[in-house]
Structure 1
């Protein structure tokens, strides 16, 4: 069980750090409504995303694709990415190194 609080990051979107270490961090992002967005952004961390539930339209660099439960993919360091929720659900992201800005 995580001891980190659930933080609101935007309309109908929250994040909660599940575990962290200087080399790795696991974070849950909950999207509560269709149309909720993970705004386009980039960071120096390598990110792996796993779709636990729901459906999402992702943009990673110049590619757009849909993800559904069980899908996963990697976002390379420095690549602009974001998503729009098609069906409410949960994404689990892993970052290396950890996102100190999330602590």
Structure 2
């Protein structure tokens, strides 16, 4: 699921709030990378910001390679521009659909 919203808070202040939500819902921390999770809240994009900190990276580093993230993101914000690639999300969508069809065949 992807959501869009607005906040007066900076992303670095919002992220800990998302982590608290994850904990309350039942996310367990694991030392294993990419372990199954009950919930995982990520910040994908914030306007055209580029943030590289140990606790938060925006845009999400794997956003463009994950169909399950990118397809819903395109649906709700097609005119968003990825700050690193410079591409609009709506222009990335046809590439994803092509790759999905390859796997389905």
Normalization by structure 2: what TM-score? 0.28
TM value normalised by structure 1: 0.28
Q: Which has the higher helix share?
A: 2
Higher RCO (C-alpha under 8 Å, 6+ residues apart): 1
Q: Which structure is larger by alpha-carbon Rg, 1 or 2?
A: 2
